[in-house]
Structure 1
Amino acid sequence: MTYPISYQLYSSRNFPPLFTQFPELKAFGYDAIEPWLPAYEADAKACRRALDDAGLRCHCFHMPLKGLIEEPQRFIDIALALGATILIPPYVAPEERGTTADYWRDLGKTLSEGADRAASHGLKVAWHNHDFEFRPLADGSRPIDLIFESAEKNVRFEIDCGWIIRAGADPAAELQTFADRIIAIQMKDMAPKGTKEDDGWAATGDGIIDWAKLVPLFRRTKAEHIVTEHDNPSDWRRFAKRSIDYIKGLAL
């Protein structure tokens, strides 16, 4: 299987206008983009037209967790307009995060409820991690485990390898643990510890992650596509091109 490769548009948020980047991303070799709110909010149909014109797709997009329950139809309509099949809540703000196991179990149940609603429209729901889900709570349990222990099988996982490294966890172990849940893999790379440039992130292949060793584990998951992302690149073009060139060299 050759994985389609998406570009997380959040990487370019500081370099508007975003839609004009689509033809360049296509020329670099990308198959799709993964937008985040508010990139598609003003007019999802206009975003879709810009993607179509550039020959790109949108497999999935990031959205607020609250939107999954409080405004499910709004985001289902956005998914259908974009041509996306996966809705991804990616974050819980620090002031909203619970500190108990029950909080994270309830989050898993919330994702399941959202996935049930989405399924009636032929859509899927996946969680996207940062570092906090992999840091143990006071009782020693990890939020990421609690989320998926309580979530139904209809909740998938977009695994972000870079944030796992920042949490002090092992991407290889997590790829194996959640293999049956993983529907997308973010190949976010991290610069050597202590690097201040670009907030310590790196283009895929320029960081500390040994991707060649992880690729065989990708094959054991249910991943449908690969995503590149950089949280704060000083040069989005360099990041985008370097990352996809490296990934294509891995023959994924």
Structure 2
Amino acid sequence: MADWSFQLYSARNFPPLAQTLQLLAKTGYSQVEGYGGLYPQLDELQQALQASGLTMPTGHFGWDMLKHHFADAVHIARTLGMHTVICPYLLPDARPTDSEGWLAFAAELEQVAQQLKQEGFGFAWHNHDFELKALPDGGIPMALLLEGAPGMQWEVDVAWVVRGGANPLHWISEYGARICAAHLKDIAAVGECRDEDGWADLGHGVMDWSTIWRALQATPARVFVMEHDNPSDLARFAARSLSTAHAL
């Protein structure tokens, strides 16, 4: 049975943190995934995790921190008991515009991967939609990142793959050996959940999660993270998504 995790970014609009962690533990989660906005209150976060009984095996760290404040990232990850550090995003003005540029960026990611390996951590990239969209020269950023950073793993956000216009089953099949974790979320039917940016609770959207789940089970991934970019009801999202995950 999987140890279900929860990306705390989904709860950013529902403070306080300690109450959120207690809710997640009561709902049935055993893990959570951190993100950059939580780390400045490191002691508070560590204490709240201990009080709730939840662990944080993975966390998102911005590229700026990894590149310019590497020691701080390592300290945070070690303090919180993480085993994998994940870079989740690249701001639009920092994104390369051609394949050569993405391969050069991947080389920088590979350096971080090797540094983290020396510190005892895994390193992964978390995708959004832009990495799946073809560049003017035909290159696909996600493929270029995985090619140029062989020591880096992938936390696949399946719903963002779909929003990027790609077939997630193809990507999971092609790069499954690199997948260390997965974000589980859903896309609402056209016109629904407009107040939630078109996202849906897991199993309450249009994605074929039973088929996707079987594909993910063939990968090394053992961290499965519930996420919703803009839920209107935190308790509803957490409970319904976990219920779907158990049914998978």
Decide: shared fold, TM above 0.5.
yes
Once residues 101 and 16 of structure 2 are traced to their aligned partners in structure 1, the CA distance between those partners, rounded to angstroms, is 39
1:2-151 equivalences under 5 Å are 2-43=1-42, 45-151=43-149
Unpaired runs of 5+ residues, structure 1, are: none
Q: CA deviation at 1:214?
A: 1.4
Give the counterpart letter for 1:13 in structure 2: R
Secondary structure of 1:59's counterpart equals strand
Unpaired runs of 5+ residues, structure 2, are: none
Q: Which of 178, 181, 184 is the aligned partner of 1:181?
A: 178
Once residues 167 and 146 of structure 1 are traced to their aligned partners in structure 2, the CA distance between those partners, rounded to angstroms, is 16
Q: CA deviation at 1:46?
A: 2.6
Once residues 107 and 205 of structure 2 are traced to their aligned partners in structure 1, the CA distance between those partners, rounded to angstroms, is 35
More helix by share: 2
More deviation, 131-140/67-76: 67-76
Q: Which residue of 1 aligns with 2:169?
A: 172
Give the counterpart letter for 2:165 in structure 1: G
Cα shift readout 1:42-69 (whole Å, capped 9, x = no counterpart): 22x3312211111100011111112212
Cα shift readout 1:198-247 (whole Å, capped 9, x = no counterpart): 10000000011111111221121110210000000111110011001110
Q: CA deviation at 1:12?
A: 0.8
Q: CA RMSD in A?
A: 1.1
CA contact (8 A) 1:190 1:202 kept: yes
Deviating beyond 3 angstroms after TM superposition, the runs of 4 or more aligned structure 1 residues are none
Cα shift readout 1:67-124 (whole Å, capped 9, x = no counterpart): 2121111000000001011111110111111111112112211111111111122111
Secondary structure of 1:10's counterpart equals helix
Q: How many residues align?
A: 247
CA contact (8 A) 2:17 2:48 kept: no
CA contact (8 A) 1:48 1:83 kept: no
Once residues 19 and 123 of structure 1 are traced to their aligned partners in structure 2, the CA distance between those partners, rounded to angstroms, is 26
TM-score by length of 1: 0.95
What is the percentage of aligned positions where both structures have the same residue? 36
TM-score by length of 2: 0.97
Give the counterpart letter for 1:117 in structure 2: Q
